[in-house]
Amino acid sequence: MGKYGGTVIHRCHDEDGPIEVVESHGVRSLHFGSPARQSAMALADPDHIELAYLRAMLAGLVFVPAPARILILGLGGGSLPRFLSHHYPDALIEVIESRSAMVAVAREYFGLPDRPGLNIQIADGGEYLQRQVTAGNCRYDLILVDVFDEQGLAPMVLQHDFFAALVSLINFGGVVCVNLWSGHAESFRAVMRLLKLYFPTGAYSLPVMGRGNVVGLGLESALGSPRLKACNCRAQKLEQQLGIEFTRLVQRLAPPLSR
C-alpha cells in the first residue's frame, strides 16, 4: 500500500489518531496521519539522526556536554532516546509519552532499546512536570520537548504552568530545547513569548535550514562573547564525536524575538 511516497508497513489507531510507519528508499518514517515525518531512521545507518530538526534539538549538548539526567517529553520513533542512551550510557534518561502504542512501535520498527537507565513512562507530559515540581526531588541537565499530533503542537506547551515547571526542573547550567513549527504562526509566537518570559536573559531560537521547524532554547543566562567562544570550541569537538553539525547549529542561534 503506497502512501507518503512509500509503503506503509504498519498502521494502528488509538484515541489520539493514526500511527503509521512508512518505508521509502531505505528510510523508515513515522507519520501521525499526515505527510509530516515525526521520526525517521535510515535502515543502513540506524544510529544516525536522520531528521535535521532532531539534530537541531541536540544543540543543547553544546552547553551541557555530559548530561547526567535527561528528560524527554514525546517519544515519537525514539530517535533521541536511542541516540542519547548510546552515547551517554551512564546518564539517566526519562521519556514521557502519552500514547502507549508508541512504545511498541518505537521498539519494533525503530530500534528503541530496552536498557538500564532508559525509563519510559506513559503519562501526560504537563501533568508529569507538575508532579515532579511538587515532589521537589528531581532536576535535569537537559530537557527536550517534542510533543505534536496530527493537529499540531500539543496545547500544554502554550501554558504558563508548563514553562514555570520547566524552569523549576532544570539544573543550573542546564538547557531546555522545544521543537516548534513556524508555519503555525499563532502558537509559534505564543511559545516564543513564553520562552522569553521564563528565560529572560537566555532565550534563543534555532531555525532548521530548509524546514519550518524552529528549536527554542532556554538557558539560564545570555551567551556573551567568552561563553560563545567556548561553545564554538566545544561544538567542534562534539561534532567529531557525535557526527552532528554542531558548529553550524551554534552559528544559527538568535534571540527569539529577532525573527
Catalytic positions, please? 146
Spatial CA neighbour of 125 closest among 137, 133, 117:
133
Contact between 78 and 66 under an 8 Å Cβ cutoff? The reply is no
Q: Calculate the alpha carbon distances from 247 to 103, 126, 170, 238 in Å.
A: 33, 32, 24, 9
Q: What beta strand segments (E) does the chain contain?
A: 2-3, 6-14, 17-24, 27-31, 37-42, 69-73, 92-97, 118-122, 140-145, 148-149, 152-153, 170-181, 203-207, 213-218
**Separation between Cα atoms, residue 124 and residue 16, nearest integer Å:** 13
What are the residues whose beta carbons fall under 8 Å from the beta carbon of 46, sequence distance 6 or more?
A: 82, 111
Cell of 207: 531555525
